[in-house]
């Protein structure tokens, strides 16, 4: 199982290379390029940065490739979450993969580019239980970086959860909000227990 410690940046670099190499083994992938903070390099990235890649696809629609993506990375370990970049739909497909053997902060976002585009509006209409956990991780990262106090995330979940019981500092309240998130996912019958345990470990390291 993975650890939530993120000090070994050589390991993250090796993960990025391994993901790229696995994608290029697909007969439909003609190019893989980085984007995001790691792709920009320099002061744009830190040890909490995730891995962002774009795969240029030929002979396969962008939707079909996005559907196949989690299976392509199985050699690196089972995905705890194989989510979708819902904010990019219906025009662009991005898969967000949290691999069991790597820190949650080092998740992999992979976008697919193909001349054969299939609409994806229907995907966003389904219940995606991992989405709130993805947002929680992003909020934790911003708090650690001193770029946010977590209030935007708490305001978001206040639409469906009573946050009046949360106490303490911004970090304390964000950490406590994980229990509200998992309670909601459980009520919806989501298979979230392993994901919850990993996030609880992340909380114990970074928010206490």
pLDDT at 20: 97
Q: pLDDT tens, position by position, for the chain (208 residues)? A: 568 999 999 999 999 999 999 999 999 999 999 987 766 555 568 999 999 999 999 999 999 999 999 999 999 999 999 999 999 999 999 999 999 999 999 999 999 999 999 999 999 899 899 999 999 999 999 999 988 889 999 999 999 999 999 999 888 999 999 999 999 999 999 999 999 999 999 999 999 7
Domain ranges of the chain: 9-124, 130-206
Which CATH number does 9-124 carry?
3.30.460.10
pLDDT at 36: 75
Rounded to two decimals, what is the model's pTM? 0.91
HEC per residue, the chain: CCCCCCCCHHHHHHHHHHHHHHHHCCCCEEEEEEEHHHHHCHHHCCCCCCEEEEEEECCCCHHHHHHHHHHHCHHHCCEEEEEECHHHCCCCEEEEEEECCCCHHHCEEEEEEECCCCCCHHHHCCCCCHHHHHHHHHHHHHHHCCCCCCHHHHHHHCCCCCCCCCCCCHHHHHHHHHHHHHHHHHHCCCCCHHHHHHHHHHHHHHCC
Mean pLDDT of the chain: 93
């Amino acid at each position: 199982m993975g650890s939530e410690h993120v000090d070994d940046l050589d390991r993250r670099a090796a993960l990025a290379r391994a993901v790229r190499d696995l994608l290029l083994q697909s007969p439909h992938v003609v190019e893989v390029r980085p984007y995001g903070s790691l792709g920009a390099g320099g002061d744009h990235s830190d040890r909490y940065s995730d891995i962002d890649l774009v795969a240029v696809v030929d002979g396969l629609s962008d939707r079909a490739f996005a559907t196949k993506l989690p299976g392509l990375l199985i050699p690196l370990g089972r995905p705890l979450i194989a989510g979708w970049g819902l904010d990019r739909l219906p025009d662009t497909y991005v898969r967000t993969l949290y691999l069991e053997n790597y820190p949650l902060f080092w998740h992999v976002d992979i976008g697919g580019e193909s001349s054969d585009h299939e609409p994806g509006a229907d995907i966003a209409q389904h219940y995606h239980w991992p989405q709130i956990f993805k947002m929680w991780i992003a909020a934790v990262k911003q708090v650690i970086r001193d770029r946010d106090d977590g209030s935007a995330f708490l305001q978001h979940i206040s639409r469906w959860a009573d946050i009046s019981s949360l106490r303490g500092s911004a970090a304390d309240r964000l950490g406590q909000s994980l229990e509200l998130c998992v309670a909601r996912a459980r009520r919806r019958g989501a298979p979230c227990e392993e994901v919850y345990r990993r996030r609880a470990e992340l909380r114990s390291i970074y928010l206490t």
